[in-house]
Structure 1
Amino acid sequence: MTATLPLLYDHGRGVTTRLIAETAGVAEGTIFRVFASKDELIDATVRKAFEPGQMQRDLAAIPDDASLHDRALALVTVMQRRFAKSFLLLQRLGMTGPPEPPEQKGEWARRVEATTQAMVDLLSPFQDELTQPAALVVRSLRLLTFSGTHPKFTGGDLLTAEQIVDLVLYGAVRRPAATPEETH
């Protein structure tokens, strides 16, 4: 599956088992000792690509001493990478959405929730600086990152991580300066 994933980005479902075997450094017949068909291998590879977990490892690499802005920027960058790869894979395979979670849906849901919680935990130390709960800020970052990273939603004019973070953390409108009466 490790050898198959990069090939799917280039060849989609048209990838041959011969090319997969060459890339993996195994005999073509070896593939069929593990998978009944090329489609079964591709489906397993796609499920693995959408599996939650890698994002948590990426988030754990963000320095503990990073500022709120830098943490949000790193979070959006991680999400953009994941979304962009997912969108490309779906497009190459002619899929309209990610695969259904495997049979152990409870475990999948637990891992998705753990990833979401890791995102919230990343911003929670700055709750006093936020006007909204950290969970809502994360949700807003996710939604804007998802739509701002999708080529069809943006007409090809993708949002940068900096634009997404600035919009969510600081808004789009300058607040009018407070009058002396309003400050008391």
Structure 2
Amino acid sequence: MTETPGTQPARRRAPAMDPEQRRAMIVAAALPLVVEYGASVTTAKIARAAGIGEGTIFRVFDDKDALLAACMAEVLRPDDTIAHLAAIPLDQPLADRLTEAADVVRGHLTRIGAVAGALMAGGRTEHPKPGPDGKLPDREAGLARPRAALAALFEPDRDDLRLSPERLADAFQLVIMASGRPGAPDPLTTAELVDLFLHGALRSSTPQ
């Protein structure tokens, strides 16, 4: 279609969606912009990235603060991480399973850090928001599902383990989280982390 010089191309109509689908679509478009611009990102910029009118944002979000809170809540959701952990083949050696798992969990933590860091750089600190039931999210509950997925990766080697898969998964999760702390001068590589976890710190404990 030929455009008349000096006119703006017609904005494409947003596809029909229910409110939850539209919220998810807007958040998905907003997340990379939040990482880039932090809390200063404008709703106009987000609307352009989503291919919608700016007013559409405010049909499903009360204001920009509500949208930014939804972005933080989305990046904290462990669903994708759990799905990736569940897809790791259990017929691989344990070290390979844990290496894949550590990369998955580290990626999730990196995404959380990118969004939280961008918002904090703009002077905004996100606090947990009540869910539909009016209750604040339980941090321990948010860690429990990924921990259960990690325990499943230890399960095939249960008979050779010094501790239960559940206890090892808890320790492994904590080690991964600690190894990715901001400002670490020389963070462990994934291979180093897994090797240290499985074989300890002493050279003599490493299998020959």
Query: TM-score per shorter chain, which class?
Result: 0.7 to 0.9
Residue 113 (structure 1) aligned with residue 139 (structure 2): no
Residue 90 of structure 1 aligns with which residue?
116
Matches for 1:95-174 after TM superposition, within 5 Å: 99-100=128-129, 102-104=131-133, 112-152=143-183, 154-155=184-185, 157-174=186-203
- Please state how far the C-alpha of 1:65 moved relative to its aligned partner: 1.6
Measured in 2, the distance between the counterparts of 1:145 and 1:100 equals 26
Q: Structure 2 vs 1, CA of residues 151 and 110 (structure 1 numbering), >3 Å: closer, same or farther?
A: closer
Q: Structure 2 vs 1, CA of residues 98 and 145 (structure 1 numbering), >3 Å: closer, same or farther?
A: farther
Measured in 2, the distance between the counterparts of 1:102 and 1:167 equals 39
Q: Structure 2 vs 1, CA of residues 106 and 135 (structure 1 numbering), >3 Å: closer, same or farther?
A: farther
Asked which structure has the greater RCO (Cα within 8 Å, sep 6+), the reply is: 1
Residue 180 of structure 1 aligns with which residue?
none
Corresponding letter in the other structure for 1:124: E
Q: CA RMSD in A?
A: 2.3
Q: Which moved more, 1:141-150 or 1:90-99?
A: 90-99
Identity of aligned residues (%): 33
Q: Structure 2 vs 1, CA of residues 131 and 96 (structure 1 numbering), >3 Å: closer, same or farther?
A: farther
- Please state how far the C-alpha of 1:88 moved relative to its aligned partner: 1.9
Q: How many residues align?
A: 174
Corresponding letter in the other structure for 1:69: A
- Please state how far the C-alpha of 1:132 moved relative to its aligned partner: 2.0
8 Å contact from structure 1 (residues 90, 98) kept in 2: no
- Please state how far the C-alpha of 1:24 moved relative to its aligned partner: 0.3
Residue 45 of structure 2 aligns with which residue?
19
Q: What are structure 2's unaligned runs of at least 5 residues?
A: 1-26
Residue 43 (structure 1) aligned with residue 69 (structure 2): yes
Q: Structure 2 vs 1, CA of residues 98 and 158 (structure 1 numbering), >3 Å: closer, same or farther?
A: farther
Residue 63 of structure 1 aligns with which residue?
89
Residue 7 of structure 2 aligns with which residue?
none
Q: Structure 2 vs 1, CA of residues 98 and 161 (structure 1 numbering), >3 Å: closer, same or farther?
A: farther
Measured in 2, the distance between the counterparts of 1:101 and 1:172 equals 43
Q: Which moved more, 1:45-54 or 1:4-13?
A: 45-54
The alignment's TM-score, normalised by the length of structure 1, stands at: 0.84
- Please state how far the C-alpha of 1:99 moved relative to its aligned partner: 3.1
- Please state how far the C-alpha of 1:112 moved relative to its aligned partner: 4.5
8 Å contact from structure 2 (residues 82, 149) kept in 1: yes
Corresponding letter in the other structure for 1:135: E
Measured in 2, the distance between the counterparts of 1:171 and 1:53 equals 31
Q: Structure 2 vs 1, CA of residues 112 and 165 (structure 1 numbering), >3 Å: closer, same or farther?
A: same
- Please state how far the C-alpha of 1:129 moved relative to its aligned partner: 2.2
